[in-house]
């Protein structure tokens, strides 16, 4: 992964910076269109993550070398796009059940980004999330940052014991560092 690939990914997905503006302008809160968008994003995210898990499992079974495990032939950029979209939604959603649903979708999309094992995608996603947060009003920034930190702490608290218990995960982490 060269810096040029990171710049290319950044330029490819930079038009998505207007997504929160368009969503705020054309989709009214608690409307049928907002629910439809949420359901479509949920379905697409679950499909991409499940397909990536199937691909990872099949490639792990066929792998000869340890570094080949985990390489999925799935478009990880879609998961990155969903992370950015769900981050934007966490900033504006106010109902508790919507927040829980969007948080779960953010976690699923984050898993999709991690499963792709592309460092360029990691960097591009991590660069765009603060940009999306900066695009909101001060109240939305605080709300979004607080919710993302809560979701992140919950994920770390739940995933760390599970991942460190798995020997293959420890070997993959050692291979990556």
pLDDT, block means (10 residues), the chain with 177 residues = 77 73 78 82 78 69 50 63 84 84 84 75 83 85 88 83 71 68
Say what the pLDDT of residue 59 is. Answer: 62
Residue 173: name the closest of 24, 81, 98, 66 by CA. Answer: 66
Q: How many CA atoms lie within 13 A of 73 on its CB side?
A: 4
Q: What is the pLDDT of residue 64?
A: 47
Tokens of 130: 């603060």
- Report pLDDT for 1: 59
Cα dihedral sign, 78-81-86-89: negative
Helices (H), the chain: 3-13, 19-26, 32-62, 76-92, 96-116, 119-135, 138-165, 167-176
Contact by Cβ (8 Å): 71, 87: no
| Residue pair 124/10 in contact by the 8 Å Cβ criterion | yes
**Residue 70 has what pLDDT?**
47
Amino acid 13: pLDDT? 75
């Amino acid at each position: 992964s060269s810096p040029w690939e990171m710049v290319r990914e950044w330029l490819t997905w930079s038009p998505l910076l207007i997504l929160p503006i368009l969503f705020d302008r054309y989709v009214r809160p608690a409307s049928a269109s907002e629910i439809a968008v949420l359901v479509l994003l949920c379905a697409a995210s679950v499909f991409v993550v499940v397909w990536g898990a199937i691909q990872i499992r099949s490639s792990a079974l066929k792998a000869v070398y340890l570094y080949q495990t985990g390489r999925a032939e799935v478009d990880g950029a879609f998961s990155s796009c969903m992370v950015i979209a769900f981050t934007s939604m966490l900033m504006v959603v106010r109902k508790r059940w919507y927040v829980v649903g969007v948080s779960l979708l953010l976690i699923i999309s984050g898993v999709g980004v991690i499963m792709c094992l592309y460092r360029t995608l990691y960097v591009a996603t991590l660069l765009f999330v603060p940009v999306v947060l900066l695009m909101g009003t001060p109240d939305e920034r605080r709300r979004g940052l607080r919710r993302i930190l809560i979701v992140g702490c919950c994920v770390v608290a739940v995933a760390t014991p599970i991942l460190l218990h798995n020997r293959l995960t420890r070997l993959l982490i050692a291979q990556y560092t």
